[in-house]
Amino acid sequence: MSAPDHRTLFTIFNRNNPSPTARALRNLSFESAFVLIVDEKNFNKKHRENLKRLKTWMTGSPRFHVKQKNNPHGFMEWPDRLWKDEWSWSALLEKNIQFLSVKEIDISTFESAGQRDIVDLTSGTKKQCADIIRAIDQLGANASFVLQTRNGHTLNLSSGEELKNTIPLSFRERVWLSSGYIVDFTLRGEPKSGKKWSDCVKEQTKSGKILPNATEIQASLGLNHPINLEAGYWLEHAVTHMMSSWPQISESYIAPRLINPSCGRSAGACFFTISASLKSRGAQKMMSKHVKEIQRIGTIRDFAEKSEAVLRFMRDTEFSKKESAYVIDRLHSIEFDAVAFDHDSGHVYACECKSMTSITNGVLSRINSITKLAFPTYGTSILVYAGSASATSYGVHKISWPELSSSTVLEDLPLAGKTYPSAKSNGTQIQSTNRPIAPSQEQLGELLLILRKDPRDYVNFLKLLEKNGFRAKGTLKRINQMSEELGFTIDYDRRDSQDWIIWGSEK
Amino acid sequence: MHAPVVAILGDSTIPALSLVNSEISDEFFFFYTEENKVNAGIFSDYCKATHTSKAIHFHLLPSIVKAGDIIGVVKEFVSAINDNMIIFVTAGAKQTILPFLIHSPQSTVASLLHSPPRIVIHDIGEESVTVEVNLTLATILQSRGWSYNQILRKGTIEIDTIIPSYNTNTGKLTFCGESYLKRNGTEHLIHKLNRSQKNDAKEADQTTIGALLQIAEDFGRNGAEYVIDGALRSPNKAVLPYYVRHRYQRNHHEEEE
């Protein structure tokens, strides 16, 4: 038995997703904790990585998560100017938490359990939990059994009492635990602004687009710059603010970016992203002091030598504040247009925003794919657009943006489309944007280098192409044609995973 | 082994069905939450029709989101039962089944294992007892109101693109549909379809996937294996729900158009 005032927490490590274990450690009050790792010997690579991520989460920062010196993608610690302190969270008192590897649940594990102790049964199979309950009973320990509910409560399984968690896991922590990415964002959703977007005058163009009245919403939001309805950014803002006003949403962010925790990988991919974007005047101006060096590195033929030079450049260059911000904005592998967290159901709504009236199935498939990648268990894909019909299509909630003013829009979605009631249209004409073109051989090669530094699945590679203003159609065939020259092979069956391109020797 | 069995009726039918078709007891208490009301009604009809000699009771629990209220009902039930009981831990969410054990920790515990399908009974301080499970496809379908004779039927619903099967060795239930291209023997033409053929394939495959999803509503996402067999075009392929498996034997390298 432990000392009378001492409270110990017993919980099982959830090998498929460490979030429930983290929730138990964060929300329960204890002096010491045992995290039982059951059957660790038979853990696969994913289970081991999940355990490592949980341990990193406890330290409060993913900054030093990747530290193997033999990392083939280039080891590099996060330099101060490329790291933001806000990417961390509150640490747990590690010294009080012990990881206990056990072959199976055994009565001896709980010999020290006493009346004040807590057993969290959120993780583990039901049979394992049953074994724990019976072991505790056999010992006469009379400990409390609790479970973390998806809506952020600790449920006492004996009394039925539910306590709201005071420090729920933040969005950043949840993403880290479930997918291992660092989250960067600049703006949060604001319910006040959401109400203004909901109440603003909407106009339907001749092409069927539903747009806000730009002058009116600008005045209502008190902005001193006009809203450009021809670029799609207004919709990201509208969506995030409108969703933030739903009672069940506790956090929402505009355009959060997900960054690989390996600085070597992220910085390497970022370098090639910057290099590929130097064709634009804006990028040239921003990186004017470094253009020559970037171009020099670009001419290095040997990939290993080039990687080395890239890392040196990213690590040792004294970027100005503005340049650092520009670089940090390009470190990510995945970007969502908007996300919102529902504290009632535990769902993360990942949104893609398209200021257009027709959506291709490819777009729907892409948003679904990246949602599953970042939030495998509780991710819900939403596509918000300027069209008029809302429905569920290809597993994605396709929503006409004005309908986000209702917090029950997702539950009310019809299977067949319903039409947004046409407002008195002012007949605003929106000019069509230029059609994207296929990348040149050289441009495609540059983008493949990003992929080499920061592997991502095929769908995300297509997204990268589109983001750089290129057409994605027909790309695979062209990549295949370049494979011999660049020294890689394509595994067509593994396009859903990050290793669909297998690089040969470091040429 | 005549203690009454307490179990949750979950999304999947096989666990509850295995219990009533085994000889582990003559009395069963099935609990179900608001969310499983419809399936519980059908299962109750099935039990009334086929297990007349057994005492099978059904009890409604509050909604799964009212976990505290569920525990109140469980406490009341456990305090009213004086005898030993067998708690079946395989079915139901943790917050519905574990409270039974917490309030009656001396009870016997039973669980369902597969390959081969069997119920294992664990009594404190005693060797586990294994009871074999013998189910048929017709019984499984009947327990959710479905039947199969070339066509899957439930009331007015008829599905002719999905074939159900039950493997008695593993205890796994499978619903399988063929992709449009496989059905027509044209898998090799996947990258040579014209626009109208692409549309036909898309529509047909969406219907097949839709049928699998409809069946999954009744048998549970984890209660059966849902398979679409044969070459599938994107985006149908890319957006398959995680519980629908795509099976495709590739004979040649695929290239994007």
Average confidence score pLDDT of chain B: 90
Residues A17 and A161 in one domain: yes
For residue A71, give the CATH number of its domain: 3.40.50.11700
Chain B residues with beta carbon closer than 8 angstroms to that of A158: 71, 99, 102-103
Residues A125 and A266 in one domain: no
Q: Are A449 and A270 in contact (CB under 8 A)?
A: no
Summarised one tens digit per residue, pLDDT across range A87-112 is: 999 998 766 899 999 998 888 888 88
Residues A192 and A234 in one domain: yes
Mean pLDDT check: name the lowest of A325-334, A441-450, B93-102: A441-450
Report pLDDT for A345: 75
Mean pLDDT check: name the lowest of A161-165, A186-190, B44-48, B234-238: B234-238
Residues A163 and A70 in one domain: yes
Q: How far apart are the first and last CA of chain A?
A: 63
Judge: A395–B241 Cβ closer than 8 Å, yes or no: yes
Nearest CA distance, A45 vs chain B (angstrom): 21
Report pLDDT for A74: 53
Residue A432: inside a domain, yes or no?
Answer: no
- Pick the residue from chain B with its C-alpha nearest to A472: B256
Per-residue DSSP letters for A65-81? S---TT-TT------GG
pLDDT higher for B26 or A426?
Answer: B26
Q: pTM of the prediction?
A: 0.78
Report pLDDT for A479: 87
Residue A175: inside a domain, yes or no?
Answer: no
Tell whether the model's pLDDT for residue B118 goes beyond 70.
yes
Q: CA angle at residue A24 from A22 to A25, to 5 degrees?
A: 65
Residues A43 and A103 in one domain: yes
Mean pLDDT of A223-231: 86
Residue A1: inside a domain, yes or no?
Answer: no
Q: Among the three residues A328, A349, A370, which one is the final residue of a domain in this structure?
A: A328
A441-453 and A475-486 helices, crossing angle to 10°: 80
Across A152-244, the runs of DSSP E, i.e. the strands, are 153-156, 162-164, 182-184, 187-188, 202-204, 210-212
Chain A residues with beta carbon closer than 8 angstroms to that of B65: 151
Residues A109 and A200 in one domain: no
Summarised one tens digit per residue, pLDDT across range B140-151 is: 999 999 999 999
Report pLDDT for A68: 55
Kindly state the percentage of chain A with pLDDT values over 70.
90
Q: Does B90 touch chain A (CB under 8 A)?
A: yes
Residue A426: inside a domain, yes or no?
Answer: no
Tell whether the model's pLDDT for residue A301 goes beyond 80.
yes
Report pLDDT for A75: 66
* B250 pLDDT tier (thresholds 50, 70, 90): low
Residues A462 and A387 in one domain: no
Mean pLDDT of A473-501: 81
Going by the DSSP 8-state scheme, the letter that residue A8 receives in this structure is: E
DSSP 3-state of A247 = coil
Summarised one tens digit per residue, pLDDT across range A284-295 is: 999 999 999 999
Residues A108 and A70 in one domain: yes
Residue A191 has, within 13 A of its CA and on its CB side, a CA count of 9
Summarised one tens digit per residue, pLDDT across range B216-233 is: 889 988 899 999 999 998
Judge: B239–A155 Cβ closer than 8 Å, yes or no: no
Judge: B68–A130 Cβ closer than 8 Å, yes or no: no
Report pLDDT for B203: 83
Tell whether the model's pLDDT for residue A465 goes beyond 70.
yes
Report pLDDT for A430: 29
Contacts with A, B 123-152, CB within 8 Å? 124
Summarised one tens digit per residue, pLDDT across range B33-89 is: 998 999 999 999 999 999 999 999 999 999 888 889 999 999 999 999 867 899 999
- The alpha-helical segments, DSSP class H, found in A38-118 are 45-59
Return d(Cα A353, Cα B152) in angstroms, integer. 40
Residues facing residue A212 across a β-bridge = A202
Mean pLDDT of A351-366: 81
Of B71, B90, B102, the CB nearest to A133: B102
A439 preceded by a cis bond (ω within 30 of 0)? no
Judge: A396–B98 Cβ closer than 8 Å, yes or no: no
Residues facing residue B230 across a β-bridge = none
Of A122, A145, A459, the CB nearest to B238: A459
Record the tokens describing residue B21, joined without a space: 């078709």
Return d(Cα A277, Cα A295) in angstroms, integer. 12
Return d(Cα A241, Cα A198) in angstroms, integer. 9
How many C-beta neighbours within 10 Å does residue B91 have? 27
- Sketch the domain layout of chain B as residue ranges: 5-133, 138-247
Residues A199 and A64 in one domain: no
Residue A387: inside a domain, yes or no?
Answer: yes
Report pLDDT for B55: 95
Mean pLDDT of A256-270: 91
Model ipTM value = 0.84
Report pLDDT for A427: 33
Residues A404 and A272 in one domain: no
Residues A410 and A447 in one domain: no
The domain containing residue A322 runs over which residues? 261-328
Pick among A122, A133, A381, A476 to test the B interface (most B CBs inside 10 A): A133
Counted domains in chain A: 4
Residue A434: inside a domain, yes or no?
Answer: no
Mean pLDDT of A358-368: 73
Mean pLDDT of A64-77: 67
Mean pLDDT of A250-261: 94
Summarised one tens digit per residue, pLDDT across range B164-214 is: 999 999 999 999 999 999 999 999 888 889 989 988 898 888 888 888 888
Q: How far apart are the first and last CA of chain B?
A: 64
Kindly state the percentage of chain B with pLDDT values over 90.
69
Summarised one tens digit per residue, pLDDT across range A136-180 is: 999 998 899 999 987 788 999 999 999 988 888 888 999 999 889
Chain A residues with beta carbon closer than 8 angstroms to that of B238: 365-366, 368-369, 459
Q: Among the three residues A273, A304, A328, which one is the final residue of a domain in this structure?
A: A328
The two counts, helices (H) then strands (E), for chain A are: 17, 22
Return d(Cα B62, Cα B69) in angstroms, integer. 6
Tell whether the model's pLDDT for residue A361 goes beyond 90.
no
Residue B237, classified by CB atoms within 10 Å of its CB into exposed (0-12), middle (13-18) or buried (19+), is middle
Report pLDDT for A360: 75
Fold topology of B5-133: Rossmann fold (3.40.50)
Pick among A126, A461, A497 to test the B interface (most B CBs inside 10 A): A126
Return d(Cα A318, Cα A81) in angstroms, integer. 9
Report pLDDT for A107: 87
Residue A78: inside a domain, yes or no?
Answer: yes
* A416 pLDDT tier (thresholds 50, 70, 90): very low
Residues A384 and A253 in one domain: yes
Residue A182: inside a domain, yes or no?
Answer: no
Kindly state the percentage of chain A with pLDDT values over 90.
48
Q: Are B115 and B137 in contact (CB under 8 A)?
A: no
Summarised one tens digit per residue, pLDDT across range A10-33 is: 999 999 889 999 999 999 999 999
Mean pLDDT check: name the lowest of A322-336, B122-136, B201-215: B201-215
Q: Among the three residues A168, A200, A223, which one is the final residue of a domain in this structure?
A: A168
Average confidence score pLDDT of chain A: 85
Tell whether the model's pLDDT for residue A2 goes beyond 70.
no
